[in-house]
A and B are shown apart, each in its own frame.
Chain A
Amino acid sequence: MYQYDQYDHAFMANRVDQYRGQVSRRLAGDLSEDQFKPLRLMNGLYLQLHAYMLRVAIPYGTLSSGQMRKLAEISRTYDRGYGHFTTRQNIQFNWIKLEQSPDILAELASVEMHAIQTSGNTIRNTTSDPFAGAVAGEIDDPRVWCEIIRQWSTLHPEFSFLPRKFKIAVTGSEDDRAAIKVHDIGLALRRNEAGEIGFEVLVGGGLGRTPMIGKTIREFVSQRDLLSYLEAILRTYNLIGRRDNKYKARIKIMVHELGIDEVRRQVDAEWEHLRDGALVLPEEEIARIRAFFAAPAFETIETPVRSYEVARFEDQDFARWTKTNVAAHRQPGYGIAVISLKPTGGVPGDATAEQMEKVAELAERYSLGEIRVTHTQNLVLPHVRLSDMHSLWQGLSDAGLGTANIGLISDIIACPGLDYCALANTRSIPVAQRIQQRVDNIDRQHDLRELSVKISGCINACGHHHIGNIGILGVDRRGEEYYQITIGGRADENARLGDVIGPAVSYDEVPAAVERLLDAYVAERKDDETFIGTYERVGLKPFKEAVYVTD
């Protein structure tokens, strides 16, 4: 993991002091809310429906056990004993007091964390593959590049007041687990014909009220040129992106209105001034950052691991968990363990202080002290010996963290919705819970195979509903909660926006409508087809007919 140096530490201490002064001036009445609001937002503090909410960045989803323990401590000391992992690899605390918020930032700084640029029209936390550095077949470790981007983009003076917020995601694998096609900039590590590693750059993706799939602006940008090219895109956007209308201010609208060819022409013109300047990435600097992410000293383990196979044979529940929650590791004898934060009836993405501490402890014991946060609101222990996997699963199960449902229908993404969010129109969490309860039988869930359900409580789409195999969007219809259902969306390397199936249904009708979609899928599927596979083969009609039956 990246470690702060003396400059980072000094900067963070200074930043906390500044914020403490700003808060005390606000409480004393020397700053009005209008003056103070942008200052608190720059430090991740929102005023939500019930209280202040603090959004803490988890850079590219990477946490140490020590950091996780600190998050648990913060939740217990300053909040109500739990935290919410978000769809952008951050964590939110929902019941924060303004007067205590400087102390929280000081606590975070003590473990090299902060809440800078988790709000505002800035470059937000760069997100990445939660399996980075662990998964087989990776072209390069995306964390190296995320950290370089983080250093470039943090408090970048030119990009602190962009037309709108700006999100970057990086994947190092062909299988995209970072949803790069729905980010303002998506970076995919690629190897060119000469065998050099660089980046395919996509631009103009995004969800929200105008969802768009990102377009390739450049097939290959070398490592040396990464920052100058990003700077050229951001500068072009900063100059010509719209500031007259908040809803048309994201770069996706600029790309849509100008066309990718014209955007490319303008970015290239800008890049000409920049590419051989101060932003050229020296090889020694790349090597310095890369060293922080060097592979741990894995043991040489003979495979197959007999104790693992025996445990799977003897313990059906464990076997089921390994089927969905364990991914292949690049190192023989190891596995990547995904910890579900989606037990039936729970709040997707929530973890109590005790659970966070348990994960920290298990990561220390079994995963070299490393934890990842996924954009699907789960946690990952990236480096677990297969011989330890059964003990890990038992430890997780004791803490209510052993649910075997990663990628299945109950692994639902849901935004906080109207239960917490000041922007929401409808609730999301209880909708997720009701769907989970409807399909609670785990054998049935496995039978339904891979199937993503994503729920947003408003058009801002924090629940990524556009890219769910089943997407659910809450809309306010004369004060009543209604939900528009889309199907056919997907978030992976073949990202696609879902299609609306028909009129919105009421809060009470959602679980039955989903059930009918499932019935239609099971009736139509062939062989080992997944829900999305069936949809792509047969189209909307049978699903639509199933939901809007009139009997």
Chain B
Amino acid sequence: MAKVLTSNRLADGAVVYLDRQGDWTTDVLSARLLEGDDAIEKAEAAGRDAVARHHVVEAYLIDAELREGSVYLTRFRERIRAQGPTILFGIAGLKKKAA
């Protein structure tokens, strides 16, 4: 199965993914889909480097695949992590209840 490398940014905790340019993005659709041992090893090295530079907390691989041309995270947990809570919260939640 293909993989994506993910982490949390140290300074603000934001969920980030290694992208095609080797940078870290908060947009899962820009994540680099890693296929094959070579691509995975290179990504993991980039992850270790980012941890060593104190940019991210800890990098790890998650399962992913290409669906309709886009990166799709296969685990439910990771999809929630990528998209945020599945429920409305804060003032948005309040407005929904009032509607």
**Beta-carbon contacts of A86-115 to B below 8 Å, as 1s and 0s?**
000000001011110000000000000000
Q: Beyond A81-B91, A352-B94, is A33–B57 a contact (Cβ under 8 Å)? A: yes
Cβ B87 vs Cβ A47 within 8 A: no
From B10, B14, B87, B97, contact of A419 by CB (8 A): B87
Contact assessment for B89 and A350 in the assembled complex, using a CB-CB cutoff below 8 Å: yes
- Chain B, Cβ-Cβ closest to A23: B11
Most chain B CB inside 10 Å of its own CB: which residue of A50, A99, A343, A430: A50
Which residues of the other chain, A, contact B90 by a CB distance below 8 angstroms? Answer: 80-82, 350, 352
Residues of B within 8 A of A27 (CB): 10-11, 54
The A contact surface, by secondary structure, is mixed
Q: Give which listed residue, A98, A99, A350, contacts B93 with CB less than 8 A.
A: A350
Q: How many A-B residue pairs have CB under 8 A?
A: 94
Q: Quick check: is A420 within 8 A (CB to CB) of the other chain?
A: yes
Q: Is the CB of B98 within 8 A of A420?
A: no
> Given A81-B91, A82-B90, do A97 and B12 touch, yes or no (CB 8 Å)?
yes
Q: Given A98-B13, A400-B98 in contact, is the A420-B54 Cβ separation under 8 Å?
A: no
* A424-481 residues at the B interface, CB under 8 angstroms: 427, 429-430, 433, 479-481
Given the complex, which residues of B lie within 8 Å of A400, measured CB to CB?
94, 97-98
Contact, CB under 8 Å: B80 / A418: yes
A275 CB-CB contact with B under 8 Å: no
Set B8, B54, B85, B97: member contacting A29, Cβ < 8 A: B54
- The smallest beta-carbon distance between B68 and chain A, in angstroms, is 20
B12 to chain A, nearest CB (A): 4
Bound complex: CA A430 to CA B85 (Å): 10
- In the complex with contacts A27-B54, A99-B11, A400-B98, A481-B76 CB distance below 8 A: yes
What's the minimum C-beta distance from B29 to chain A, rounded to whole angstroms? Answer: 17
Q: Contact partner of B87 among A28, A29, A51, A433, CB < 8 A?
A: A433
Known A-B contacts A29-B54, A47-B57; A80 and B96 likewise in contact (beta carbons under 8 Å): no
CB-nearest residue of chain B relative to A432? B87
In the complex, chain A residues 175-218 whose Cβ is within 8 Å of any chain B Cβ: none
Residue B53 CB within 8 A of the other chain: yes
**Which B residues lie within 8 Å of A66 (CB)?**
none
* B75 close to A (CB within 8 Å): yes
Task: Indicate which residue in A99, A347, A420, A433 contacts B12 across the interface (CB closer than 8 Å).
Answer: A99
* Cα–Cα, bound, A51→B97 (Å): 26
Is B77 on the interface with A (CB-CB < 8 A)?
yes
Q: A347, B57: Cβ atoms under 8 Å?
A: no
Interface size band for A: 35 or more
Q: How far is the CA of A52 from the CA of B15 in the complex (A)?
A: 10
By the criterion CB–CB under 8 Å, are A343 and B10 in contact? Answer: no
Q: How far is the CA of A346 from the CA of B14 in the complex (A)?
A: 25
Taking CB atoms and an 8 Å cut-off, the chain B residues in 14-57 that contact chain A are 14-15, 51, 53-54, 57
Residues of B within 8 A of A52 (CB): 12-13
Which residues of chain B come closer than 8 Å to A429, judged between CB atoms? Answer: 85, 87
Asked if B87 contacts A479 (CB within 8 A), the reply is: no
A347/B87 in contact, CB under 8 A: yes
Contact among A98, A345, A355, A433 with B10 in the assembled complex (CB-CB below 8 Å): A98
Asked if A26 lies at the interface with its beta carbon under 8 angstroms from chain B, I say: yes
A98 touches B11 (CB 8 A): yes
Q: Is B93's CB under 8 angstroms from A347's CB?
A: yes
7 shortest A-B CB distances, which residue pairs? A419-B85, A82-B90, A51-B13, A52-B13, A97-B12, A29-B54, A99-B11
Known: A29-B54, A346-B94, A400-B94. 12 other contacts (CB 8 A): A50-B13, A50-B15, A81-B90, A82-B93, A96-B13, A99-B11, A350-B93, A419-B85, A427-B80, A427-B87, A430-B87, A433-B87
Can you name 24 A-B pairs with beta carbons within 8 Å? Answer: A28-B54, A33-B51, A49-B15, A49-B81, A50-B81, A50-B84, A51-B13, A52-B13, A81-B90, A97-B13, A99-B11, A99-B12, A345-B96, A345-B97, A347-B93, A350-B90, A352-B91, A419-B85, A419-B87, A427-B86, A479-B74, A479-B75, A479-B76, A480-B76
